[in-house]
């Protein structure tokens, strides 16, 4: 029997396991040590969830392909699902502003808000963040979750007491804030630590480095577009493009912090013009933290300047650092 993880052959010492269920139990312990999440297993072409693996005798199995996902990837995907939901709510509220909302639509909105509450709980758990201690603008993040809960209860009450002439006013700003908070999660120190613990295969990292280099010119142009949007008062367009840039920066950060453990390269030794890649990445992290602070203070002119000049300037020679990395791997 051959054992693989995400299609890659692995050397895992099995002892007295008699069936697939026992094998999965043993592999789960190894996966947990690697800070990964076990999704399921493919046994000779038949997929089973991790909790529902049948007791197929090992002598009847040719290939077990265990499917796992890093905790960083789970956070990243969950954050993007949360952002997408907030976008849908905002588009919905803007579309129905004058027409009003019927009961079925309010019911869907309640379900979505319940899901959104679970999303924040899941992300906080994976990142080990205490939302009572982390601020966004002038309030703790937990206060925004409480506002979401209060809105949900207000809608429930509205439905139960609704009269024909009643009209429900929903403040869009809450969903704008929740959307921006998701962006804060992606550039947090907690996310950085989680990325370091989530290891990809060498070939995936190599491909990611090459793609980042190819994407860099487009991202530099994107920073200029974001700055222009904020400078001209087109904040919605600026926010949309800023999240696209944060996605790129997530991929870049994730890849860089995995190069050291996978390839044995010390980023402090990758030096260009007297500045190491380790220093470069810390500078970018500091600039992004300052960017989030500026967003919290709602100073869009300063935000535009930060993106167009400081962050763009810091990124402009990243392609040369990537060339140095590729030479060493």
Q: Please enumerate in sequence order all residues whose Cβ is within 8 A of that of 77, keeping only pairs 6 or more positions apart, or say none.
A: none
Q: How far is CA 183 from the centre of its chain?
A: 8
SS (H, E, C) 80-102: HHHHHHHHHHHHHHHHCCCCCCC
Q: What is the pTM of this model?
A: 0.63
pLDDT of 271-298, one tens digit each? 999 999 988 988 888 888 788 778 777 7
In this prediction, residue 215 carries a pLDDT of: 94
Q: Is 14 helix (H, G, I), strand (E, B) or coil?
A: coil
Task: Return d(Cα 40, Cα 35) in angstroms, integer.
Answer: 16
**Class for the domain spanning 2-70:** alpha beta
CA distance 222 to 315: 12
For the segment 183-242, what is each residue's pLDDT rounded down to a tens digit?
888 878 888 777 766 666 677 788 889 999 999 999 999 999 999 999 998 888 888 898
177 Cβ contact list (under 8 Å, min separation 6): 136, 137, 144
Alpha carbons 83 and 50: distance in angstroms, whole number: 28
pLDDT averaged over the chain? 85
């Amino acid at each position: 029997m051959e054992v693989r993880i995400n299609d890659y052959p692995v050397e895992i010492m099995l002892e007295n396991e008699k069936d697939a269920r026992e094998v999965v139990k043993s592999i789960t312990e190894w996966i947990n040590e690697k800070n990964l999440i076990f999704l399921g297993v493919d046994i000779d072409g038949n997929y089973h969830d991790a909790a529902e693996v049948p007791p197929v005798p090992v002598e009847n199995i040719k290939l077990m392909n265990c499917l796992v996902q890093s905790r960083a990837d789970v956070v990243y995907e969950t954050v993007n699902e949360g952002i997408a939901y907030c976008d849908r709510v905002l588009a919905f509220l803007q579309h129905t502003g004058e027409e009003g909302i019927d009961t079925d639509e309010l019911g869907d909105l309640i379900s979505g808000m319940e899901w959104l509450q679970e999303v924040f709980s899941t992300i906080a758990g994976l990142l080990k963040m205490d939302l009572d201690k982390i601020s966004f603008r002038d309030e703790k993040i937990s206060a925004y979750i409480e506002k979401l809960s209060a809105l949900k209860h207000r809608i429930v009450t509205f439905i139960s007491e609704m009269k024909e002439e009643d009209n429900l006013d929903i403040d869009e700003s809450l969903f704008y804030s929740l959307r921006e908070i998701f962006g804060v999660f992606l550039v947090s120190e907690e996310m950085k630590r989680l990325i370091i613990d989530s290891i990809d295969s060498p070939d995936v990292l190599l491909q990611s480095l090459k793609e980042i280099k190819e994407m860099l010119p487009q991202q530099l142009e994107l920073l200029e577009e974001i700055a222009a949007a904020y400078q001209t008062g087109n904040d919605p367009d600026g926010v949309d493009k800023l999240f696209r840039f944060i996605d790129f920066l997530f991929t870049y950060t994730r890849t860089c912090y995995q190069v050291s453990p996978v390839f044995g390269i010390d980023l402090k030794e990758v030096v260009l013009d007297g500045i190491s890649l380790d220093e470069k990445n810390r500078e970018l992290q500091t600039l992004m933290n300052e960017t989030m602070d500026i967003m919290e203070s709602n100073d869009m002119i300063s935000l535009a300047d930060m993106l167009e000049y400081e962050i763009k300037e810091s990124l402009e020679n990243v392609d040369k650092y990537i060339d140095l990395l590729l030479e060493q791997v």
